[in-house]
Amino acid sequence: MAELLTYVTTLSAALDLVALVVFIPWVLMTKKDATAAVAWCLVIVLLPLFGALLFWVFGYTHVGRPLSRVRRQRSAYRAKHPPRTQEAARGDEEDDDYATWSDLGRVARRVQAFPISQGNAVALYHDTRDAFASLLDAILRARHHVHLEFYILRSDPTTDALVAVLTKKAREGVEVRLLYDAMGCVQLRSRTLAPLREAGGRATAFLPLNPWRSRVQVNLRNHRKVVVVDGCVAFTGGMNVGDEYLGKDEYYGYWRDSFVRLEGPAAAGLQRVFAEDWDFATSEALNGDAYFPDLPRAGDSVVQVIASGPEQEVKSIREVYFAAILAARHHVWIASPYFVPDSGILDALRLARFRGVEVRLLTVLKPDHWLAYLAGRYYYTEVMEVGVEVYQYRKGMMHAKLLVADGRWAMVGSANMDNRSLHLSFEAGCVLHSPEDVAALEAQFRRDLKDAARLDADEFGRRPFLVRLTENACRLLSPLL
């Protein structure tokens, strides 16, 4: 028995040494952020085998085959299939013809956002039931194709309703392409999509979870929510597809989200986002007038589509958020269910308060992801110390992702104010440059505050020691959240 114990101890020590020798250099070579590198090194030093396993699963800056393939595929697609529409082909010099608040339209272009697009019709949905009904109505009107991209699809009546409409259109000869994230839809049953596939529609997973062929990627997930109908009507926002997103789950109750319907030239940007993701997942290139038709003026809204992902050296959405916070002179209002900012965003929020800018954060009271929620509570203290107002939504689940600044600029999309969205996931959204659209978002934000409770900084500071200790522990994982 003693010999066995000695053998096990020796083997464990040897494996710990191997983990340290292999994984510490790997962390140092792949982590650009010093805080993340230190956090991972400490985890591996204190818990060598377990820490190494965690890094293997969650080591998101490992630019391996999946990320390299994304870059290579997108580059090849863009070279072979350049933008066809006049709006998508515009250059920076034409963007200068339209002045945007604090020149943020041109800033967004510098970090790979789509061109500023005039002449759009924008419909903003703050109730997911209305958004879902509008989505189904647009699909029913499709004549050539329907393209859908979601992070989560549930096997429940809500998804069944969507699949039924898509199946109907596929049987009518409409091309239906559905792209879903493999990790987000890990519980999606194959029989849920079977009717669509049998009708001739196509449904494909983004970065499939196949450990036999490649390392399972817990990060690098496609968190986008994009729908494009006939290349001329498009949707994006924070809403996934499932019963809870329509307020049918007793635990969450009412589901507050934001969704945008676009009609006009800006729709080509969201079509382009889908086309590149579909090309990566299936190697089927979508181009031509059928997918990118000439889009006439449909309204008076000025819109700029933006997409970001881990394959980018400069994270587009993160940089635009950062620029908007720094540009604000009167107020910055943020809605996000998960608030785990990186050091730069945190400094920008502090600096905004030092300049006298009103900063309000609207977030969840009843979370669906406890780790991110507890880490976020640590940062509530950080920002409340400088006067940021933090509100927790009481009516139900706050899932909207938006930022509005000075009544002149806003962004709505799929990206939360957290590291995962801003650095690790593929995201998409719409920058709204028209004061009328921004005013509509601000009016809804004010209504939301009536259904929220403001945190008192002094009272919050007196929460129990064990709660604060747990929040600090979760905060150590903030580079992953």
Q: How far apart are CA 131 and CA 136, in angstroms?
A: 9
Of the candidates 62, 81, 147, 399, the residue annotated as catalytic is 399
Indicate if 225 belongs to the active site: yes
Lowest mean pLDDT among 43-52, 103-112, 247-256, 400-409: 43-52
Q: CA distances (Å), 72 to each of 75, 77, 215, 285, 296, in order? A: 5, 9, 19, 14, 33
CB burial string 203-227: b at 16+ within 10 A, e below? bbbbbeeeeeeeeebebbbbbbbbb
405 - beta bridge partners? 332, 409
Q: Sort strands 409-413 and 402-405 into parallel, antiparallel or unpaired.
A: antiparallel
Place 458 in a pLDDT band, splitting at 50, 70 and 90: very high
Q: How far is CA 148 from CA 88, 229, 426, in A?
A: 20, 9, 15
pLDDT at position 86: 41
DSSP structure class, residue 114: P
Task: With beta carbons less than 8 A apart as the criterion, state whether 136 and 167 touch.
Answer: no
Instruction: In whole angstroms, give the CA distance from residue 453 to residue 320.
Output: 29
d(CA 242, CA 414): 16
Residue among 401, 418, 433, 437 flagged as catalytic: 401
**Tokens in use for 200?**
């001739």
Residue 230 a catalytic site member: yes
Q: Among residues of the chain, what percentage have pLDDT more than 90?
A: 68
Q: Is residue 449 a contact partner of residue 417, using CB atoms and an 8 Å limit? A: no
**pLDDT tens sequence across 57-92:** 665 444 455 556 666 666 665 565 566 544 443 444
**Catalytic residue flag (residue 315):** no
Question: CB count, 10 Å around CB of 121?
Answer: 17
More confident residue, 393 or 221: 393
450 is catalytic: no
The CA-atom distances, in angstroms, between 185 and each of 35, 149, 177, 273, 476 are 31, 12, 16, 20, 27
- Residue 474 has a CB neighbour count (10 Å cut-off) of 20
pLDDT at residue 11 in the model? 63
pTM for the full model?
Answer: 0.86
Q: Is 433 a catalytic residue?
A: no
Q: Work out the burial of residue 352: count CB atoms within 10 Å of its CB; fewer than 13 is exposed, 13-18 middle, 19 or more buried.
A: buried
Question: What rounded mean pLDDT belongs to the chain?
Answer: 87
Per DSSP, what are the bridge partners of residue 358?
331
Q: Active site residue: 225, 315, 423, 433, which one?
A: 225
Band (pLDDT 50/70/90 cuts) for residue 93 is very low
> Can you give the pLDDT at residue 55?
74
Pairing of strands 175-181, 254-263: unpaired
pLDDT tops 60 at residue 346: yes
Tallying the residues shown for the chain, one arrives at: 481
Q: Give residue-wise pLDDT tens across range 290-335.
A: 999 999 999 999 999 999 998 888 999 999 999 999 999 999 999 9
pLDDT grade for 31, boundaries at 50, 70 and 90: low
N-terminal to C-terminal alpha carbon distance within the chain? 44
> Which candidate in 169, 223, 423, 433 is catalytic?
223
> Which one from 95, 342, 406, 448 is the annotated catalytic residue?
406
